[in-house]
Structure 1
Amino acid sequence: MMPFTNQSQPYPVTRNATYAKNGMVATSQPLASQAGLEILKKGGNAIDAAIATAACLTVVEPTSNGIGSDAFALVWTKDKLHGLNASGRSPKSISIDKVKEKGYDGIPTHGWVPVTVPGAPSAWVELSKEFGKLSLKEVLEPAITYASEGYPISPVLGKFWKKAYTNFKANLTDDVFNNWFKTFAPNGRPPKVGEMWSSPDHAKTLQSIAETDGESFYHGELAEKIAAFSQENGGFLSSTDLAEHKAEWVDPIKVNYRGYDVWEIPPNGQGIVALQALNMLKGFEFKEKEAVDTYHKQIEAIKLAFADGQRHVTQENHMHYNSNQILSEAYAQTRRKLISEEAMQPEAGEPFGSGTVYLATADNEGNMVSFIQSNYMGFGSGIVVPGTGIALQNRGHNFSMDPDHVNALQGGKQTYHTIIPGFLTKGAQPVGPFGVMGGFMQPQGHVQVVMNTIDFGLNPQAALDAPRWQWMKDKRVEVEHRFAHHLAQELAEIGHDIHIQLEPNSFGRGQIIWRDPDTGVFVGGTEARTDGTISAW
C-alpha cells in the first residue's frame, strides 16, 4: 500500500500526482525529463536517465545550471544508498590576500575571482562508470541534439533569462563577459518565450565530453581552453586545478524522523542543516499542518540549524565539529530547548537566492537517483569560455574573507555548498528521492516537504503544491501569497516579521518520486512553480 496517498488539502491543487510502474523522471523542464525517459526506454537504467536529464538541463535550462556547474547525487542501487560529491575546489593559487590585492573586500559575485573547478562533468562520468548500463556517448545524445538543433524557450525559463540579461547588461560591462552575451543573447537580446535557441559550441563540448569520457574537460582540449581564458584575464583557475579534480564517493548522513531515515550528502553541503532542524522538530507533536504552532516551530528550528550550519559547515576535514556531533540526540535536545513561544533572534548569515536544477529518476530494476546540479545565482559567474558554451559557476562567492572563519577562503578548498539532494528510506527499503532547489531555501524546502509527507500524509504532488515559507534573516520570514493570511497574522503576533511574497519562484522548485514497497508502483510530484513535468511509463 502506498504510504502517502492523502489527496485532501486546504489549498488549490495544480495537478494530480503521477503514477507509473516501469520508470519515472521528474524535473523542471519537459524536454529534459523526456530525454531521461527516452534513455530508460532504450534499455538504460535510472542512473543513465539521471545523467541524460542532467546533461540536457545544461542546454534547456541554462538560467540555472551549465557544463561549468557542480553536482551532488544520492543513488539507491543494489540495496544500498551511495553518495557522490562532485563539487569543485577553489584554485590552488587563490588566497584572501590575493583577492584583496585585486581591490575586493569581499568575494565578488561575477568574474573570475569566484570561479571554482566545475564538478558536473565528473559526476556524469563517475555515475556512468560505476552504475550505468549505456555508454556516456549514448546517454549524452539527447543533450547534444538539443544544443545543435535548438529548442523553443519555455515560459518560466524565458522569464528568468530576460531577468538575467537585464541584470548582466547593466552590470557586466567588462570585455571578459562578452562571450556570455554572444552565447545567451546572440541577437542582442534574450530569446523570447517560444523562440528557438541553440548553441553549437555547447553541442561540440558535450560531444567532446561524451567521446572522451570526460577526459577532455579535465585533462585535454577543453581544460586547455578554460585555463588559457583564465590566464588571459587574470583568473586563478589553472590546468593543474582541473587535472587534479575528482568526484568523490561519500557516505550519506541521516537522521531518523518518526520511523523514516532522511538522508543527505555530508558537508561541504548544507544538507546537514535540514537534518539538524528535523532532529529538533521530532521532539514535538504536530496535530495539524495549517496551525500557527506548526509553522512557528518549523521556522525556529530552521533558524537554529542555519546558525550552526553557517558557523560550522565547510569542507568536512576543515570543520571543528563533525556531522555526528552536530546531529547527536544530545545536541538536538539542547537546541530544541531554545524554541519558545515567541520568535527568536538567531545568529546566522543572510540567505539569498540561487540558480539550481534538481531531478529524480527511478526504474523497474529498483534503482533510484536524487541528483542536483547548479551554477549559482542563475547563470553563475557570467564567464563563458570562448568556443565552448561553458558557463562557469561562481561557487567561490560563499567563502568567507575572515581568515578565522571555518569557511575561510584558501586555495584547493571546497566551500560551504547550497545544493543538496535528499532521499527517504524506511527500514531497509527505499521510499525514494526528493529535493527542493533554490539557494538557502533548500534545507527549508526539505524540512517542509518531509513533514508534509510524514507528519501530514500528503502525496508527492500535494507535498510540493503546499504554500511555502522561507526564513531570510533575523526574524524576517517570507510567505507565498497563497499562504493562509490568518496564520501569517498570528505568526506576526508572536514576533515574526512576516512579508507576503508575490514571486513564487523564490520559494524553491522541487521534485519527488516515492516507490510502493509492495507493488513497485511509483508516485511522483513535480513543481508547479516552474516548467516542471514528469515523464513516466
Structure 2
Amino acid sequence: MGRNRETLQEAIWLRLRTSVSGWRSAGPRHLGVAMRFRNPHPSRRSPVMADNVVATSQPLAAQAGLQAMAEGGNAVDAALAAAITLTVVEPTGNGVGGDAFALVHDGRQLHGLNASGRAPAGWSPAFFAGRDGMPPVGWHSVTTPGAVSAWTALSRRFGALPFARLFQRAVALAESGFLVTPAVATLWAMGARQLERQPGFADTFLPGGRAPRTGERFRNPDLAATLQRIAETGGEAFYRGELARRIAAEARRHGAALTEADLDAHRPAWVCPLSLPYRGVEAHELPPNGQGIAALIALGILAHTEMPEVAPDSIPGLHLQIEAMKLALADTQAHVADPEAMTVEPAALLDPGYLAARAATIDRQAAGDPGYGVPRPGGTVYVTAADAQGRMVSYIQSNYLGFGSGVVIPGTGISLQNRGAGFTLQPGHPNRVGPRKRPFHTIIPGFLTTPDGGPLTSYGVMGGPMQAQGHVQVGVRLVDFDQDPQTACDAPRWRVLGGRRVAVEATLPARTLEGLSELGHELTVTAPEAAFGFGGAQVAQRLSGGYVAGSDPRKDGQAVGF
C-alpha cells in the first residue's frame, strides 16, 4: 500500500492546493464586475429554525416561496412559487419545458404526484433505426413536458392562493432581470459550449454571444410573457392553446415527432408512494418510472447490516453504504422503467428476504463490482417547504441534462427537456423507447415519516444519478447519526461511478480515503469547490414546535423561515 498511499496523498494535496492557488487577487477591481466569486475556504451555515420554512438552490426562489406563505399561502403555494421562480433564475437545471414530481404531506397522509411526460406517439423503435443510442440533445430527445401540469394539479388540490398569484415574482424577475449567481454561471458556461448550435438556444440564453457571468443581469422577457399566459389560463395555454400550437409548429419545422395531440394527451398521475421501514422511521419515495426505489433498496440493504454501530464518515460505514448503493443501482438499471413495461414488481425488489440476501453478499473487506450501467449526470432543482399547519412538500423539477435538449421555442423562452435520453434502444429491455411511454427518470423527491405516518422530514438531493445516492447518504446522517439538516447538507459525499470506481470529496479525512483505497475502491478525489457532481441537498425536518431546515453549500441557495 506504501506507494498507493503516497499517490493518494499527493492527489489530495494537489486538489486542495489547486483550489487555493488557483485564486489570484483582482486588486481594487474586486469591488466591481471583475470579482472572482470563488471561495476556497469551507464555509459554515447554521440550520434555520422557524414555524414556516422554505429551502431551495437559489435565494430569490426561496424568498418567493416565503413571500407566498407570508401572504396567506401554505407550504404547497410556497413550493410552487419557488419552483416557478426557479425556471427563471436557474435555467441551467429546469424550465417550463421540463418534468416534475412531488410528495405532499397534508398533515394527515402522504400523497404522490408523477407529472413526468411521455414519449411522442411517433417514437417507435423504428423511428430511431440506425442509431447506437438515444440522442442526448436536440429535438429527437424531447418528450412531452410535465412541469406545468404539476403546478396546476398541486395548486388545485392543495393550494390556498389563486393560481396566478404564484407567478408574480417569477414574471417580475424575468421582465426586470436578476443577477446571475456563481454556481449557475458556471453551469451556464458549460451548457453554452454544448448547446449553442441547438435551435433557439443562443438567441435566448447567450446575450451578446456568450453566457452571462457571475453578477451580470440576465433578462428573459419572452419567458415572462409565457409565464403570464400560463398563469392566466391555469396552464391550458401550454397543453391545448397558443403555446401548444407554437411548440408543435416548431417540432414540425425541424422534423420532430412531438405533436399537439401529444401535448393534449398529457395528464399528471396521483400515485401511491413506495415505503420501507428503516431504523424506526418510514422512508418514502415515488414508484417507477423514477429511480427513487434505488434509495429504498439501498436503505433496505443497510437495515440488515451493522450500520448504526459505525461512526459517521468511518471507513466501515462508508464501505457499507457504497456497496449497498452499487447493489441498488444494479437492480434499478436492470428493472426500472415505465411501470406498464416492468417485468419485476417494485414490491419484489423491496421484499425483506430479498434485501437481506443482497446484504449478505457484501464483503466487509473488499469492494465489489456488481456490473451495472451508470446514467448520465444531470441538472435539476429541488424545493422543500413546510408550514405551521403541518403541511410538508418535497418537490423536484428538471430539464434533465442541464438546460435540457437545448431547444428553445422562438419568442417564448420555453426550453425543452431531453428526457428521451433516459430511454434505451436495447431490444427486450423494459426501458426500451416506445410510443407514449414514460422514460426512466432520475429526479426524485424524498420523505420520512413516523411509523404511523406522521410527517418528519422532507428532503431531496438534485443532481442526476447522484439523487438516489444522495438520499441514502443524507438519510443515514439524519436517522443513523442524528445529524441536523444543515450538517447533513454540509457533510462530504461520495458517488458511485461504476465497477469499483468511486468519486469522493476531498473534505473526507485523509485516513478514511486511504482506508477505502485499501479495501479496493478506486477513488477519484474531487476538490470541494468542484462538487457539482455531488448534488445539492435541501432538507426540512419537523420539530416539536416548528421546523429546522438546511440548504446545501454546493449550490447558491438558502433555507429561509418566518
With the length of structure 1 as denominator, give the TM-score of the two structures. Answer: 0.95
2:549 to 524, 530, 536: 524
Alpha-carbon separation, structure 1, partners of 2:467 and 2:107: 28
Matches within 5 A, 1:299-448: 299-341=322-364, 342-427=366-451, 428-448=453-473
Aligned to 1:535: 560
State the Cα distance separating 1:240 from its structure 2 match.
0.5
What per-residue deviation string (whole Å, max 9, x for no partner) do you get for residues 380-424 of structure 1? 001001111110000110111012111001110001100000011
Check conservation: 1:289, 1:452, Cα contact below 8 A: yes
1:149 to 157, 164, 176: 176
Check conservation: 2:199, 2:406, Cα contact below 8 A: no
Check conservation: 2:305, 2:359, Cα contact below 8 A: no
Aligned to 2:215: 194
Q: Which amino acid aligns with 1:262?
A: A
State the Cα distance separating 1:12 from its structure 2 match.
6.2
Alpha-carbon separation, structure 2, partners of 1:135 and 1:99: 43
Any gaps of 5 or more consecutive residues in structure 1? 1-10
Aligned to 1:256: 277
Aligned to 1:16: 46
Alpha-carbon separation, structure 2, partners of 1:499 and 1:489: 12
Aligned to 1:114: 141
Alpha-carbon separation, structure 2, partners of 1:46 and 1:324: 31
Alpha-carbon separation, structure 2, partners of 1:351 and 1:476: 14
What per-residue deviation string (whole Å, max 9, x for no partner) do you get for residues 251-286 of structure 1? 001111001001101000100000000000011123
Aligned length: 516
Aligned to 2:255: 234
State the Cα distance separating 1:435 from its structure 2 match.
0.5
State the Cα distance separating 1:167 from its structure 2 match.
2.7
Alpha-carbon separation, structure 2, partners of 1:187 and 1:136: 35
Check conservation: 2:94, 2:399, Cα contact below 8 A: yes
Aligned to 2:188: 161
2:502 to 465, 477, 494: 477
SS in 1 for 2:397: strand
What per-residue deviation string (whole Å, max 9, x for no partner) do you get for residues 170-201 of structure 1? xx3xxxx2411000012111111111111111
Alpha-carbon separation, structure 1, partners of 2:42 and 2:203: 42
Over 6 Å off, 4+ runs: none
Q: Which amino acid aligns with 2:414?
A: I
Alpha-carbon separation, structure 1, partners of 2:336 and 2:161: 37
Is 1:281 equivalent to 2:311 in the alignment? no
Matches within 5 A, 1:80-159: 80-100=109-129, 103-159=130-186
Alpha-carbon separation, structure 2, partners of 1:290 and 1:345: 22
Alpha-carbon separation, structure 1, partners of 2:541 and 2:463: 22
Is 1:181 equivalent to 2:231 in the alignment? no
Check conservation: 2:145, 2:417, Cα contact below 8 A: yes
Alpha-carbon separation, structure 2, partners of 1:12 and 1:262: 31
Is 1:218 equivalent to 2:239 in the alignment? yes
Alpha-carbon separation, structure 1, partners of 2:482 and 2:158: 33
Aligned to 1:30: 59
Check conservation: 2:313, 2:508, Cα contact below 8 A: no
Q: Which amino acid aligns with 1:14?
A: R
SS in 2 for 1:84: strand
1:270 to 291, 310, 313: 291
Alpha-carbon separation, structure 1, partners of 2:183 and 2:42: 20
Q: Which range moved further: 315-324 or 365-374?
A: 315-324
Check conservation: 1:351, 1:473, Cα contact below 8 A: no
SS in 2 for 1:317: coil
Check conservation: 1:25, 1:361, Cα contact below 8 A: yes
Is 1:204 equivalent to 2:225 in the alignment? yes
What per-residue deviation string (whole Å, max 9, x for no partner) do you get for residues 274-320 of structure 1? 00000000111232112111111111110011100000000112111
What per-residue deviation string (whole Å, max 9, x for no partner) do you get for residues 362-387 of structure 1? 11111110000000110000100111
Check conservation: 2:86, 2:94, Cα contact below 8 A: yes
State the Cα distance separating 1:534 from its structure 2 match.
1.3
SS in 1 for 2:140: coil
Alpha-carbon separation, structure 2, partners of 1:531 and 1:121: 24
1:64 to 93, 106, 113: 93
Is 1:513 equivalent to 2:545 in the alignment? no
Across the aligned residues of Structure 1 and Structure 2, the Cα RMSD in angstroms comes to: 1.2
Alpha-carbon separation, structure 2, partners of 1:466 and 1:72: 26
Is 1:296 equivalent to 2:319 in the alignment? yes
How much identity, in percent, do the aligned residues show?
46
Matches within 5 A, 1:457-472: 457-472=482-497
State the Cα distance separating 1:13 from its structure 2 match.
6.1
State the Cα distance separating 1:351 from its structure 2 match.
3.4
SS in 2 for 1:444: helix
What per-residue deviation string (whole Å, max 9, x for no partner) do you get for residues 200-226 of structure 1? 110111111101100010001000000
SS in 2 for 1:360: strand
